[in-house]
Structure 1
Amino acid sequence: MSLMVTPFGATRVRFMRVGLTGGIASGKSTVSDMFRELGAVIIDGDRLAREVVAKGTPGLARVVEAFGPEVLTADGELDRPRLGSIVFNDPDQLKVLEGITHPLIFELYAEREAAAPEGAVVVHDIPLLAESGRAGEFDAVVVVDVPEEVQVQRMLRDRGWTEADARARIAAQASREDRRAIATYVIENTGTREDLRQRVAEVFERLTS
């Protein structure tokens, strides 16, 4: 459990900090929803990532400065497909983007976490947790895992991507081995939805006990 320092120097339990991660199309968002249904407080990294580059934000201004005005739509919003086509085929460009957005995202994580009630299980849904090097900051890390071929099949079926785009996105993320290496718990998502729900409940029980 994460601890809070009181004004008198003593510490007390504040809440359980859990990092939740998984590769693209692993089903991480579904697992996050299931944790929410069980009573966890969810802080969604994908949502925060959108907030920090919303229209009119300093984050978006820095992205435009780095990648040019062509990454904007006609109405001044971030053109995500356009930016994705740049960064997910160039590791150096991806690092530039992450250098802009990651610090802003983690600032928002801290703000949202501070508002969580005492004793809660606070799940930080972080797509790139393995890449960030911050796994050690959590009381536990949950990794949603599927084979690469399953990821590719899901992206082709559910997102309409080409196989080349799907594999490029996978290659831009940490490997399965890197993610599993930081895991306290691994949730394999290759079975039915009910299988997944049962495994999530087992993990949540361990976190709360």
Structure 2
Amino acid sequence: MNYIIGLTGGIASGKSTASDYIRSKGYPVLDADTYAKKATAKDGPAYQGIIDHFGADLLQDDGEIDRRKLGAIVFNDDGERKVLNQLVHPEVRRMMDADKERLAEAGHVFLDIPLLFENGLDRQCDITLTVYVDQETQTERLMERNGFSHSEALSRINSQMPLSEKRNRSDEVLDNSGSKDDLYAQIEDFLAKIEK
């Protein structure tokens, strides 16, 4: 049986590191963020709706949306974040579903979706897998990675479902509190399990 595996985590939890490693092992990993970039690109299906709602001052000189400016708006305003999600998520889902159906015929497919549980997409998965770290580690990593202040990092983290809740709702958990090698070993165990 070929599994659809929903991979999730939180900002700075190490989900991308896990994704990259799984991909390096030859598994298809469909990344919701990549589809979101396609959907919001100048020729993407969600582009015009975003400009109509948020205004043309979001545009860079090349006509592309300034993702930092847009992020600053939606990370601090739940209402605006909902509007953006309503414009982007259906398009992401449509593109992702088409690729998922095609790839699932050949083998296991991983769906890298930050908002897996929030958007009820866990129901489309055979197995859910969360990359988990405690909030203190998550905050430190985010400050280090993005140059955020403590309050900026917390604002981003608090805009998401707590990782502890994702962990509790998940079928399997990858604990990323240790080294990369620890994480890779846990992924190897998981891959061995699904190949049985």
- The normalised TM-score by structure 2 is 0.95
Residues 43-62 of structure 1: matches in 2 within 5 Å?
Answer: 43-62=30-49
Task: Specify the code of the residue in structure 1 equivalent to 2:155.
Answer: A
* CA displacement 1:163-186 (0-9 Å, x = unmatched): 222111111111123312331100
State the match for 1:29 in structure 2.
16
Q: Retained in 1: the 8 A contact 2:132–2:164?
A: no
Q: Retained in 2: the 8 A contact 1:135–1:182?
A: no
Residues 82-97 of structure 1: matches in 2 within 5 Å?
Answer: 82-97=69-84
Distance 1:90 1:167 in 2: 15
**Deviation (angstroms), 1:121:** 1.2
Q: Are residues 1:17 and 2:11 paired?
A: no
RMSD value, Cα: 1.3
Identity %: 35
**Which of 103, 108, 117 is 1:116 aligned to?**
103
Larger Rg: 1 or 2? 1
Distance 1:95 1:139 in 2: 27
Alignment: residue pair count? 196
* CA displacement 1:110-148 (0-9 Å, x = unmatched): 111122163411000001112111212100000000011
Gaps of 5+ in 2: none
Moved over 6 A (4+): none
Distance 1:27 1:58 in 2: 29
Q: Retained in 2: the 8 A contact 1:145–1:186?
A: yes
* CA displacement 1:48-93 (0-9 Å, x = unmatched): 1100000122311111111111221122111111001100001111
Task: Specify the code of the residue in structure 1 equivalent to 2:147.
Answer: G
Gaps of 5+ in 1: 2-14
2:13 aligned counterpart, secondary structure: coil
State the match for 1:155 in structure 2.
142
Further displaced range: 122-131 or 53-62:
53-62
Residues 61-140 of structure 1: matches in 2 within 5 Å?
Answer: 61-116=48-103, 118-140=105-127
Distance 2:99 2:89 in 1: 15
**Deviation (angstroms), 1:152:** 1.3
Whose RCO is larger (CA < 8 A, sep 6+)? 2
Distance 1:160 1:138 in 2: 35
Q: Are residues 1:193 and 2:180 paired?
A: yes
Distance 2:118 2:36 in 1: 15
Q: Which has the higher helix share?
A: 2
Distance 2:164 2:141 in 1: 20
1:131 aligned counterpart, secondary structure: coil
